[in-house]
Amino acid sequence: MHQAVTGSARRVETKPFHCRVDRDGDGVRITLEGELDLASAPEVQAALRDRGDDGARRVLDLRGLTFMDSSGLRTILSAHNASRREGWALQIVPGPPSVQRVFDICGVTDGLRFIDQ
């Protein structure tokens, strides 16, 4: 979250959420920017469900996130469970420390497949 302070008034500005989906050889790369929360989770869910015509691999890139709440975590864990059930791969590019801390606090880091890029 970006904060701008003007005089005695304090205004909080947030980076708009973006979910970009790119076809990537044998799968799809989903790049997230901004805040993954209750408002943005449905867009990510839809992107993760859309398997398209090509391949069975999803790469979820969290590097551009500035925040993630339990709704975002639930979305990723649901996709992970669906990938195991349906036979497609979910690979996750780790986000910044504040985002990764959510995975760590909830004890799910070791159960997910994090990759370098």
Domains and CATH numbers, the chain: 15-111 (3.30.750.24)
Which of 116, 117, 107, 60 lies closest to 88 in space, CA to CA? 60
Neighbours of 37 (CB within 10 A): 17
Cβ atoms of 28 and 44 within 8 Å: the answer is no
Q: What is the pTM of this model?
A: 0.85
Q: Which residues contact 108 (CB under 8 A, 6 or more apart)?
A: 73, 77
Confidence of residue 26 (pLDDT cuts 50, 70, 90): confident
Confidence of residue 93 (pLDDT cuts 50, 70, 90): very high
* Separation between Cα atoms, residue 10 and residue 79, nearest integer Å: 38
